[in-house]
Structure 1
């Protein structure tokens, strides 16, 4: 395992001198903004269509099915996606994936505008989006460290997270306004943002093609899996995200809470969706200015525990302000643990392996998010939305204790810089 660097991280101003990183950051923000708008509009549109003929529980189940539809292609394409990111020019792979995402936004725009959207069509588009993201995530993740000096890597990861989280605040809020007009307005906005993201990526000049490696595609895939399994810090960090968020995925049920629990409509739904990103952005800003220098493992597990507690508070809340506050705390705690996990993984992984490790990480993250939505929908079918969210929060607390015991190396991880 590569040693973690012990020197201090340079000032954030150093990142401003890295032209290609700034383009990468802009692309990341626009792509995240687009994905958030599309996700919010897709969930709301699905729930609205389903409620025309189905009960709350049945409609919640269909909303959860969006997550499963998006995750299946991510799971099936994980190994070839990681191998592609370690074999081909990562910038070109990312551009091809953004083109695929633009196609999904275009289909959703036309379906909503012309009125031929159905639950089956929405699930199909979610699956196509998942296929594009399966290749985009490892290529984009592995490309980032190629654009900055190694000493800037921890700080760049914090700024990468800030791009995602700030877009996640604006995205749901804007989506709520646009959906209130019509879902078509939300989907066409996402289409434009994907195009801008692609333009930023196309302008990157640095070499983003990894070193050519000997061996067949299958050999390279097996090497990636073996590395993840062998490196306990990497495997522990990735699997912790999978199970904690899998059980604590209350955000999948936000359309249900907005419409039938809190009764706040699409505008309130957008505010609820922005809640986690509000808290996450505050923590991301703090981390960008003050990278964690010691006791990283303890902070990470503490973040997961707070995430579980905040999920329980959200489940039991009956007012909009308390629900948004709980979601903000939830998002901030998740940001802290995600930042530490991502930094650890990037620092201990050599560049020639980053695509494959990122692919495995993305499928675990995808499983935590997409399967978390599916799990929430299934549990809501039997326990109702409140019971499902409460079940997930308690489960996340249990996972925190269990993983702290199973992976003492992760719990004892100290320095990130």
Structure 2
């Protein structure tokens, strides 16, 4: 792994990109995630077209895509801790690409119906149950503990670069050629990640030592149970994500049913939200240590207030500005919670801990999507934002009250997550 002794390099916002393997990984992810976000816009638009703007149908598709994560992500984290993460990610991206191409063929031939979208959404969720916790824990193996906060922030940054570019391009392509071509582009984009993974130097990957004995899900849960400094941010993420982080559902509803936007204007709303997320992601690249619990809670409070305000936006321009701010607040909160959990967990359990984080953050989406979809069907898209923001506000206030009632010093990072311990645990173990 490439190192430097230059003091200025230790504060450079792109310092993790000096690591060749991470640089390859980030490049492949930008292309692939851009395709994914293009497909998200196309899929949502297609569902609304097929169902005459049904919030319930859109909520069902979202729920089906995330239900496998609710059921299987912890086992995905178990696989990530036991097997070669690079091999797992290669397989997951190949399968995702084939699924996307198959759906594209159905759409382009005019044979795709709502049941097909349901099936492919569920299948993609099965793959993501393994891919997401594996990808999140793989970043630490690429760069090591000292660069992990910066690499994690850059991962959020490139994710949101793709999130900005993808919907904007998708809106133009849908308008010009239709949704099928967007899905075809998405299917081809997975090749970028697969190629990047295969070009990495395996000898520079800092694999953690395989845990002794069986690699069990319950061991990761026990590790978290004994750590209140991990439990509180995870509980906060659970409360906020259930109602507050359903933008895949609420943004298209806001665009079509409130502002009566076309595909291009819908893409602009999504782009504004993603641009705010991107700005916040770059802001967090300066982080060099584990964030405090108070920072995590306060960022959730800010997000809750902004999301509630979106529901009262008087017009399209105001919504664009408010969504930019809300996007920034959402990624800042998610990154703060992620860093607090990831940098505080033992590397031997990191795959399973991050699987639990993913389960809470994204696995709650099926329930949240159905609830928010029902709210949207009954009271409209604005109510989705207001209820989501207020529910997040209550959750953050409860976490703040919990912190105020505690005494004693702020918990620190466990010894096992320190640089020396990670280097010892990750000393060129064989895959597995």
| TM-score scaled by length of structure 1 | 0.90
Partner of 1:277: 274
Partner of 2:260: 263
Partner of 2:155: 160
Deviates more, 1:382-391 or 1:181-190: 382-391
Deviates more, 1:321-330 or 1:293-302: 293-302
Deviates more, 1:118-127 or 1:339-348: 339-348
Unaligned runs of 5+ in 1: 1-6
Deviation string, structure 1 residues 96-138 (Cα, Å, up to 9, x no partner): 1111211221122011101111111111111111111100011
Secondary structure of 2:61's counterpart equals helix
Secondary structure of 2:311's counterpart equals helix
8 Å CA contact 1:311, 1:330 repeated in 2: yes
Deviation string, structure 1 residues 149-202 (Cα, Å, up to 9, x no partner): 321111111111111111111111111112222001110111121111111112
**C-alpha distance in 2, partners of 1:230/1:21?**
32
Alignment of 1:69 onto 2:79: no
**C-alpha distance in 1, partners of 2:77/2:381?**
36
**C-alpha distance in 2, partners of 1:398/1:110?**
45
Match of 2:327 among 315, 331, 334: 331
**C-alpha distance in 1, partners of 2:62/2:55?**
12
Partner of 1:231: 227
**C-alpha distance in 2, partners of 1:281/1:415?**
29
**C-alpha distance in 1, partners of 2:409/2:290?**
10
Partner of 1:41: 42
| TM-score scaled by length of structure 2 | 0.87
**C-alpha distance in 2, partners of 1:369/1:401?**
22
Deviation string, structure 1 residues 390-417 (Cα, Å, up to 9, x no partner): 1111111111101222356799859899
Alignment of 1:383 onto 2:379: yes
**C-alpha distance in 2, partners of 1:272/1:179?**
15
8 Å CA contact 1:297, 1:412 repeated in 2: no
Alignment of 1:215 onto 2:213: yes
Please report the RMSD computed on the Cα atoms of aligned residues, expressed in angstroms: 2.5
8 Å CA contact 1:295, 1:414 repeated in 2: no
**C-alpha distance in 2, partners of 1:412/1:385?**
43
Partner of 1:3: none
**C-alpha distance in 1, partners of 2:18/2:110?**
48
Q: What is the 5 A alignment of 1:15-30?
A: 15-30=16-31
Change in Cα spacing, 1:412 to 1:370, as seen in structure 2 (3 Å) is farther
CA shift, 1:72, in A, is 1.4
Partner of 1:140: 135
Match of 1:174 among 160, 169, 173: 169
Change in Cα spacing, 1:124 to 1:294, as seen in structure 2 (3 Å) is closer
Deviates more, 1:28-37 or 1:404-413: 404-413
Aligned length: 402
CA shift, 1:369, in A, is 4.1
8 Å CA contact 2:160, 2:275 repeated in 1: yes
